């Protein structure tokens, strides 16, 4: 490396970012290399333009996925985890996860290993982006998805294995009534869904803090608590508990509304809520996970910040991204707000059929980098990236995914879109 850099550190609960921070990155599988090549040029150009050489990112490649396996014989090397631990803030491309067998998700493993408990996925509209809805500009939501629990924990017992048989035997012996509920016990695979009070509380706390700091109007707890009462239902109840016990002065909850209604009737509850919201309090409400897909589509104005469990948030991220133009422009970050550790990454996957074609939209990783720069406090560079994205899209110079839905647009390659973003920073 020709130039040495320094570590980003956490000091007294605040991120300390040197002028030449070392930032580890994973290129990713499939379309990852195409996208990274385009995106890193955008990041460097934005930083150079904003700080005229006074600040610079010292990139440090770390391996994971196919590149790691092919060179080191392991999918997620310990050195990679160590680099993210040591340098605190990093960025990654997508990594492949085989379906129905093989290795477990490296993406999920990274989040768990580094305890990046928030998957933060903002969903906003860029004017000019083709959208399937009539008013995409009304979509301005931020998903806080729990990243370390739920059925993503990966405790599963495959049908036909000894573990599966032993687990079912344990159920049969100790919980015979529950065992009898399994419709086809002989051939059933089994998965376990742990959801804890601590895991829920730290996620909901982060969502409420974000909403208050960013002057959002509401936080919606998304759950399927009518069916899964002690996991998803508990997520809702613990979420309300956090709002009321830790942010009681600043929030009004639907749980409070329910209690007032039971005591004094619906009119009183409505009046209480209205007064609370008029006084500027943040509304904390909840919605069942199936209807949230309809409501966010039909009444996007009613949703600001959404706090979800792991699986629900995974589904909802892709669905909401579609409303503002699709997964090609859906960024994200995995964050531990206590330790400061963060790994930014797109919402989409490896899109393997487009690999090495220099074709896909690098927008999601570019905007994930924009989130990273903002997280580091390099807001001038982040603002330039937004300006560049807005300019490239407004000029109708776009990649295939937008081009196929846009009238009169110019089709750009992945790398060319990166160039267009840089040009429009001026």
Whether 356 is catalytic: no
Q: How many helices (H) and strands (E) does the chain have?
A: 16, 17
Q: Min. distance of Cβ 351 from ligand NDP in angstroms?
A: 4
What is the smallest separation between the CB atom of 93 and ligand NDP, expressed in angstroms? Answer: 7
According to the annotation, is 353 in a ligand binding site?
Answer: yes
Residue 360 binding result from Mg ion, ligand NDP, ligand AKG, none, given CB thresholds of 5 to 8 Å by partner type: ligand NDP
Region of 27-35, 102-110, 193-201, 256-264 interacting with ligand AKG (CB under 6 A):
102-110
Strands 342-345, 89-92: pairing is parallel
Residue with tokens 């009444």: 299
Told to check if 415 binds ligand NDP by CB under 6 A, we report: no
- Residue 105 sits in the site that holds ligand AKG (CB under 6 A): yes
Considering the rule CB under 6 A, would residue 97 count as an interface residue with ligand AKG?
Answer: yes
Total length of the chain: 426
Q: Which residues 377-406 are close enough to bind ligand NDP by CB under 6 A?
A: 401
Instruction: Calculate Rg over the CA atoms of the chain.
Output: 23
Verify whether residue 267 is a known catalytic residue: no
Q: Is residue 51 annotated as a catalytic residue, yes or no? A: no
User: Please, what is the minimum distance in Å from the beta carbon of residue 213 to ligand NDP?
Assistant: 26
> What tokens appear for 85 in the block?
């631990």
- Residues 281-320, mask of contacts with ligand AKG (x by CB under 6 A): ---------------------------------x--x---
User: Nearest distance from residue 345's CB to ligand NDP, in Å?
Assistant: 5
Residues 6 or more apart whose CB falls under 8 angstroms from that of 322 comprise 132
The reply, when asked if residue 331 is annotated as ligand binding, is no
Alpha-carbon distance 187 to 164, whole Å? 10
Q: Please tell me whether 349 is known to bind a ligand.
A: yes
Cβ proximity to ligand AKG: between 97 and 153 the closer is 97
Neighbours of 20 (CB within 10 A): 14
**With the C-alpha atoms ordered 177, 183, 185, 188, is the resulting torsion angle positive or negative?**
negative
Which residues ranging from 312 to 341 are in contact with Mg ion (CB under 5 A)? 314
Q: Could you write out the DSSP letters of every residue in 64-132?
A: -THHHHHHHS-SS-HHHHHHHHHH-EEEE------SSSSSPPHHHHHHHHTT--EEEEEEEPPTT---S
Of the ranges 148-156, 221-229, 344-352, 378-386, which one interacts with ligand NDP (CB under 6 A)?
A: 344-352
349 interacts with ligand NDP by CB under 6 A: yes
Contact 351, 365 (CB under 8 A): no
Q: Does 107 bind ligand NDP (CB under 6 A)?
A: yes
Listed in sequence order, the residues at least 6 apart from 162 whose beta carbon sits closer than 8 Å to its beta carbon are none
Beta carbon nearer to Mg ion, 312 or 397: 312
* Site track 106-125 with ligand AKG (rule: CB under 6 A), x = hit: -xx-----------------
Confirm whether residue 12 is marked as ligand binding: no
Instruction: Write the burial class of residue 81 (CB in 10 Å: 0-12 exposed, 13-18 middle, 19+ buried).
Output: middle
Catalytic residue among 67, 92, 168, 224: 224
Q: Is 231 left (phi over 0), alpha (psi -120 to 50) or beta?
A: alpha
Residue 121: strand pairing partners: 143
Span interacting with ligand AKG, options 32-40, 100-108, 128-136, 322-330, rule CB under 6 A: 100-108
- Choices 166-174, 186-194, 279-287, 359-367; region in contact with ligand NDP by CB under 6 A: 359-367
Q: What is d(CA 143, CA 336) in angstroms, rounded to the nearest whole number?
A: 15
- CB closer to Mg ion, 123 vs 234: 123
Active site residue 314: yes
| Spatial contact of 105 and 357, defined as CB atoms under 8 Å apart | no
Residues annotated in a binding site for NADP(+)? 96, 348-354, 361, 400, 404
The catalytic residue positions are 152, 224, 290, 314
Binding-site positions: 96, 105, 107, 111, 121, 145, 314, 348-354, 361, 400, 404
* Residues in the annotated binding site for D-threo-isocitrate: 105, 107, 111, 121, 145
């Amino acid at each position: 490396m020709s130039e040495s850099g320094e570590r980003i550190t956490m000091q007294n609960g605040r991120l300390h970012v040197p002028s030449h921070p070392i930032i580890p990155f994973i290129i990713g599988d499939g379309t990852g290399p195409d996208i990274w090549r385009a995106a890193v040029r955008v990041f460097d150009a934005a930083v150079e333009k904003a700080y005229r050489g006074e600040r610079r990112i010292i990139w440090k490649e770390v391996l994971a996925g196919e590149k790691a396996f092919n060179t080191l014989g392991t999918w997620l090397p310990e050195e990679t985890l160590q680099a993210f631990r040591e340098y605190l803030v990093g960025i990654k491309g997508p990594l492949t996860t085989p379906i129905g067998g093989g290795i477990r998700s490296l993406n999920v493993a990274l989040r768990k290993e580094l305890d990046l408990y928030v998957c933060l996925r903002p969903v906003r509209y860029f004017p000019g982006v083709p959208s399937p809805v009539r008013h995409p500009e009304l979509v301005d939501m931020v998903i806080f998805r729990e990243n370390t629990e739920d059925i993503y924990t990966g405790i599963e017992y495959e049908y036909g294995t000894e573990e599966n048989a032993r687990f079912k035997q344990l159920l049969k012996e100790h919980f015979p009534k529950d065992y009898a509920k399994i419709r086809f016990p002989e051939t059933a695979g089994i998965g376990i869904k742990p959801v804890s009070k601590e895991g829920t509380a730290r996620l909901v706390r982060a969502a409420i803090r974000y909403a208050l700091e960013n002057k959002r109007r509401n936080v919606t707890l998304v759950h399927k608590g009518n069916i899964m009462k002690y996991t998803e239902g508990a997520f809702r109840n613990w979420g309300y508990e956090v709002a009321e016990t830790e942010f009681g002065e600043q929030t009004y909850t639907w749980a409070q509304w329910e209690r007032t209604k039971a005591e004094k009737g619906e009119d009183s509850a409505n009046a209480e809520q209205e007064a609370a919201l008029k006084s500027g309090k943040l509304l904390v409400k909840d919605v069942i996970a199936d209807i949230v897909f309809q409501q966010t589509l039909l009444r996007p104005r009613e949703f600001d910040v959404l706090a979800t469990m792991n699986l629900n948030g995974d589904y909802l991220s892709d669905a909401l991204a579609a409303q503002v133009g699709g997964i090609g422009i859906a960024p994200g970050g995995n964050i531990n707000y206590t330790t400061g550790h963060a790994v930014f990454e797109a919402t989409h996957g490896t899109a393997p059929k487009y690999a090495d074609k220099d074709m896909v939209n690098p927008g999601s990783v570019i905007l994930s980098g924009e989130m990273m720069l903002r997280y580091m406090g390099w807001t001038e560079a982040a603002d330039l990236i937004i300006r560049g994205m807005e300019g490239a899209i407004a000029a109708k110079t776009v990649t295939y995914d937008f081009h196929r839905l846009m009238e009169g647009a110019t089709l750009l390659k992945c790398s060319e879109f990166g160039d267009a973003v840089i040009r429009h920073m001026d």
